[in-house]
Amino acid sequence: MVVTLIEWEHLDSGKWKKKDLHVRGSVHTKRKINSYDPDYAKKLNETMKKIFIYCEECKEKYCLAEPCMHHLSDSEEDRAKYNAYKKKAKESQRINKQRKLDSP
């Protein structure tokens, strides 16, 4: 039989509250997120907004919730973002070529 002790903290209002579980990370202290929680996606996104990584290609920092174009996932919405980025880059390149041809 396994017995798990729960740690409690006493609040100023006189009530008791379970202490939060923390996991120590290399840079961040992260709170565990229950994957069965109805607000799991929202909490996960909030946590990902706090984690920043440096991109060598962009020479900028980006957060995991909103990655740069070089680090997008394979999800449908990220594929759409990447395709829009490529289309915009191609259009910009076409305009630049046209300007070079038009200039004397």
Q: How many domains does the chain have?
A: 2
The one-letter amino acid code at 21 reads L
Residue 89 domain boundaries: 75-104
| Percent composition of the chain: helix, strand, coil (DSSP 3-state, to 5) | 40, 20, 40
Q: Do residue 60 and residue 96 come from a single domain?
A: no
**pLDDT given at position 90:** 92
What tokens does 13 get? Answer: 């209002």
Q: Do residue 25 and residue 1 come from a single domain?
A: yes
Q: Do residue 66 and residue 86 come from a single domain?
A: no
**pLDDT given at position 1:** 58
- Interstrand relation of 60-63 and 52-55 (parallel, antiparallel or unpaired): antiparallel
Q: Do residue 8 and residue 56 come from a single domain?
A: yes
The one-letter amino acid code at 10 reads H
pLDDT digits (tens, 9 = 90+) for 21-75: 554 444 444 567 778 888 888 888 888 888 888 888 888 898 888 888 888 888 8
pTM: 0.51
Q: Do residue 16 and residue 66 come from a single domain?
A: yes
Q: What is the spatial distance between Cα 89 and Cα 43, in angstroms, rounded to a whole number?
A: 34
Phi and psi at 16, nearest 5°, equal: -110, 145
Q: Do residue 66 and residue 79 come from a single domain?
A: no
Q: Do residue 51 and residue 35 come from a single domain?
A: yes
